[in-house]
Amino acid sequence: MERILDGWVLASLPAKWAEYLKRLADDHEINLNNVITELCEWAFSGPASKEQFEDWLDEAYPPKGEAEDEANAAGEEVGEIEEEEEDEAEEESHEHRD
């Protein structure tokens, strides 16, 4: 869940990462928001790292339209395989009759 308020994004973090980042903030006597901001700045500071993250995100969580297309394509592929198997079974049964 996220909320945006005056340019701030509020997001839930998994407990283990929230604890880790909170400990780092406390160790360095800075605000947790600063730690997260700097983490994002560091992680996305270059075009290569942004592209790498986007590639990972696309693979892990395909965009909505793309995910639907992949699901439809997979369904069509399964249908085609089943149809081929049925055709082969029919041919075999005709061969046995002859």
Tens digit of each residue's pLDDT (9 = 90 or more) over 32-59: 989 998 999 999 999 999 999 999 999 9
The b-or-e profile of 21-57 (16+ CB within 10 A means b, else e) is beeebeeeeeeeeebbeeeeeeeeeeeeeeeeeeeee
pTM to 2 decimal places:
0.53
Average pLDDT over residues 26-30: 96
